[in-house]
């Protein structure tokens, strides 16, 4: 029987061959435990890094030695550890505001304040909805595709708002403006090809920037309504007066036409008389001259007065002789 020392070393020295063999085996087994733990940890690590899962609203981009490919089938998938990296991309519809903070709803004037085509200021808030259409391009075609979308949206929003008057922006033109901006953005995103698809763009709110401007806008609206009323009254007056004026014009034209026709008939008659007289003159010139002279004298002499003055200033003779008043109211020839 061998006595064991308190220390392991002494116990091994004083032990027999069998005990020393068993002790060495136990010591070897103890040394293998850390190795086995490392092997198990590495195996677990490799196992965990060899699989990945994709949900219904996700797509994965698997990069194999720098070459990306898309995996869109939901479920559990395998990959080669260290040689393949996986990046998941959400395909749900996302959105962001322009002109206000989405959490506090506080306005961001630098984004919302715009000028219209009629040189008015207006605050317009938008909400942009988008989704990822190509995960590979979304991850690797640009560094910040969402920021690019927001920048393009702000540019086209300002450009389009500047083409419309403030009335259309605040009241009836919202749908037209939204559709125009959406069309421009879709076309530009297709050109940029950054893996983002525009779903919708909506005007959340549109109003004048301050209370003073709002009051001024209301005053302008009142003035426009007054303008419309004045135009309607003018149109009513026009509808009443134009027919009367047309009738008067028609009457004047008819009178002028009648006068013209009378003048033409009179001129035609005078020409006919002159031609007849000229025909007689060509046949009997002397007789015709004498007849014309006598006829003219017959017209002129009854109204003709001749004053004869001998130059002395005493005696004046009148031909034909006129009656003179006499004394007592009697007349003498």
Higher pLDDT, 16 or 9: 16
**pTM for this prediction:** 0.53
Residue 203 has phi, psi (to 5 degrees) of -80, 115
H/E stretch holding 154: helix 145-161
Q: What angle do CA 40, 44, 47 make, to 5 degrees?
A: 135
Is 8 a residue whose pLDDT tops 50?
no
The tokens for 15 are 């032990």
pLDDT (tens digit per residue) in 203-223: 998 888 776 666 776 787 788
How many Cα atoms sit within 13 Å of 72 on the Cβ side? Answer: 7
Strands 316-319 and 306-309: antiparallel
* 194-198, 236-240, 274-278: least confident range: 274-278
Is 157 a residue whose pLDDT tops 70?
yes
Instruction: Give the separation between CA 213 and CA 224, rounded to whole angstroms.
Output: 16
pLDDT (tens digit per residue) in 123-150: 999 999 999 999 999 999 888 999 999 9
- Report the percentage of the chain scoring pLDDT > 70: 75
CATH number of 93-209: 3.30.479.30
State residue 47's pLDDT score. Answer: 55
Higher pLDDT, 220 or 158: 158
The predicted model gives 271-287 an average pLDDT of 82
- Select from 143, 155, 147, 141 the least CA-distant residue to 190: 141
Lookup result for tokens 């002279």: 293
pLDDT (tens digit per residue) in 82-136: 788 888 899 899 999 999 998 888 889 889 999 899 888 889 999 999 999 999 9
State residue 315's pLDDT score. Answer: 55
126, 177 contact by CB (below 8 A)? no
Question: What's the longest Cα–Cα distance across the chain?
Answer: 211
- Select from 156, 139, 172, 145 the least CA-distant residue to 98: 156
Confidence grade of residue 319 (pLDDT, cut at 50, 70, 90): low
State the Rg of the chain over Cα: 59
The tokens for 135 are 């995960």
pLDDT (tens digit per residue) in 176-190: 999 999 999 999 999
State residue 119's pLDDT score. Answer: 84
Confidence grade of residue 240 (pLDDT, cut at 50, 70, 90): confident
| Cα–chain center distance at 187 | 17
Supply the mean pLDDT for the chain. Answer: 80
Is 23 a residue whose pLDDT tops 60?
no
Burial class (CB in 10 A: 0-12, 13-18, 19+), 58: middle
Strand partners, 107: 100
């Amino acid at each position: 029987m061998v006595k064991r020392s308190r220390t392991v070393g002494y116990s091994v020295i004083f032990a027999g061959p069998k005990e020393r063999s068993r002790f060495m085996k136990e010591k070897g087994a103890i040394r293998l435990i850390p190795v086995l733990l490392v092997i198990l940890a590495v195996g677990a690590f490799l196992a965990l890094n060899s699989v990945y899962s994709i949900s219904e609203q996700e797509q994965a981009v698997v990069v194999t030695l720098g070459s990306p490919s898309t995996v869109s089938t939901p479920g559990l998938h395998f990959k080669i550890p260290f040689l393949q990296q996986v990046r998941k991309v959400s395909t749900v519809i996302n959105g962001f505001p322009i002109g206000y903070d989405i959490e506090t709803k506080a306005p961001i004037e630098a984004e919302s304040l715009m000028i219209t085509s009629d040189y008015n200021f207006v605050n317009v808030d938008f909400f942009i909805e988008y989704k990822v259409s190509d995960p590979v391009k979304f991850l690797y075609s640009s560094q910040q595709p969402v920021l690019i979308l927001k920048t393009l949206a702000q540019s086209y929003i300002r450009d389009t708002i500047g083409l419309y008057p403030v009335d259309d922006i605040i009241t009836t033109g919202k749908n037209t403006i939204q559709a125009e901006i959406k069309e421009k953005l879709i076309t530009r995103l297709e050109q940029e090809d950054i893996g983002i698809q525009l779903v919708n763009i909506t005007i959340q709110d549109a109003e004048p920037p301050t209370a003073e401007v709002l009051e001024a806008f209301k005053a302008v609206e009142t003035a426009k309504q007054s303008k419309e009323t004045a135009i309607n009254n003018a149109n009513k007056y026009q509808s009443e007066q134009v027919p009367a004026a047309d009738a008067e014009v028609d009457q004047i034209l008819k009178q002028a036409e009648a006068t013209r026709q009378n003048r033409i008939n009179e001129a035609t008659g005078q020409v006919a008389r002159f031609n007849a007289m000229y025909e007689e003159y060509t046949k009997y010139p002397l007789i015709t001259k004498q007849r014309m002279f006598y006829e003219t004298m017959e017209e002129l002499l009854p109204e003709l007065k001749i004053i004869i003055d001998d130059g002395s200033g005493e005696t004046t003779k009148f031909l034909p002789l006129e009656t003179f008043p006499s004394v007592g109211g009697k007349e003498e020839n």
